[in-house]
Amino acid sequence: MSQQLAEDDRAESIRMIRDSAAAVAPPGGDLKRIRALRFQAPGYDPKVWAEMGALGWIGLRVSEDLGGSALGMGEFCALAEALGAGLAPEPLVPCTLSAMLLAAAVSHPESLRGSGEAGEALTAMLAGEAMVLTAWQERANTLAAPGTHGAPRLFLPMAGGATHFLVPVREGAALALHLQPALGADLTLEPTQDGGSFGTLRPEGGVKIMEDCEAVLNRALGEAALGTAASLLGVMDRAFAITLDYLKTRSQFGRVIGTFQSLQHRAADLAMQVALTRASVEAAAASLDAGAPNRAAVISRAKARASEAALLVTRQSIQLHGGVGYTDEHDIGLYLRKAMVLANQFGGASLHRHAFMAVATESSDE
């Protein structure tokens, strides 16, 4: 009975998270806000970011004693899915990664002079008053943070709106963590397909806030990969729903095109891709919340499937719309653009497929 009550409580918690997401990404709502922000600096709405802080979303994975919500991966993935469905440009998943690192630095200050600054940055970001991005990536399609001293850090989402950067730097055998203000930083921005931007940061010092962040960073990167898989699930699910509505209303040759058998078969294949991705993401989140030992494997399985399936579903959705699907005025194209940007964030399909196989091979050898 106690286990059933725990499961019921978790289901209710996830339902409440989904309901709260409607404040920013109304289910089936129009995309006027998203279109207005495209290719405009900083690429997201600071007022919406502040609202996310007020709702407790930025600190969803941070402990309550540090001002967070201390919720699980089930809730985090449900929220990421809902925001993905609404194409929300605010970088919640990357900033959740930063919040976990800042929380670890505050919890284990190690008498570093930057510990106070880490606490201030965490408090401000959880309130939606700051945006801290982790500059960990040095090459494309990777989930490793080498921490090379002085190396440019790539693919920082919405970096134009950042107030601080977290920079892992290899110091001997340890991976130290530095906090660098964005003001005056050597930062360049490049537009992305979805109307946002990626930043390239050339680190310039900063204050050390953690002697060795490697363990917590690797854990947080895995959770960010799963959160991104959930975002892709939201993107493909909504794109498919829009496509189904179109198939049920568009007429050709005197018939609703959804009655054509060939299109029904294609729609059934896409529905299967969405269902399999949902099962993979939800199973991975449940495994992480249960503390299962196969953490890396379930994350890589979910991200590999989500990256591939999202691109397949959104591309097929455009084809099923016919010529109108290729126009920028139709919303369906926005979903493909978002999928193209998210597919390789925190590792693409090929990377995670190889990672999954490596873990599976190790397990079979034991």
CB-count exposure of residue 1 (10 Å: 0-12, 13-18, 19+)? exposed
The percent of the chain in helix, strand and coil, each rounded to the nearest 5, is 55, 10, 30
Domain ranges of the chain: 2-214, 216-365
Domain 2-214 indexed as CATH 1.10.540.10: yes
Per-residue pLDDT tens for 91-148?
A: 999 999 999 999 999 998 776 766 789 999 999 999 999 999 999 999 999 999 999 9
What residues pair up with 285 in beta bridges, in sequence order?
none
The CATH-assigned architecture of domain 216-365 is Up-down Bundle (1.20)
CA-CA distance, 350 to 358, in Å (whole number)?
12
What residues pair up with 199 in beta bridges, in sequence order?
156, 189
CA-CA distance, 203 to 209, in Å (whole number)?
15
Query: Is the separation of the CB atoms in 290 and 82 below 8 Å?
Result: no
Q: Are strands 197-202 and 153-157 parallel, antiparallel or unpaired?
A: antiparallel
Confidence (pLDDT) at 249? 82
Model confidence, pTM: 0.94
Per-residue pLDDT tens for 200-252?
A: 999 997 899 999 999 999 999 999 999 999 999 999 999 999 999 988 886 66
DSSP 3-state of 202: strand
Other Cβ atoms within 10 Å of 20 Cβ, number: 15
Per-residue pLDDT tens for 36-90?
A: 999 999 999 999 999 999 999 999 999 999 999 999 999 999 999 999 999 999 9
Other Cβ atoms within 10 Å of 264 Cβ, number: 13
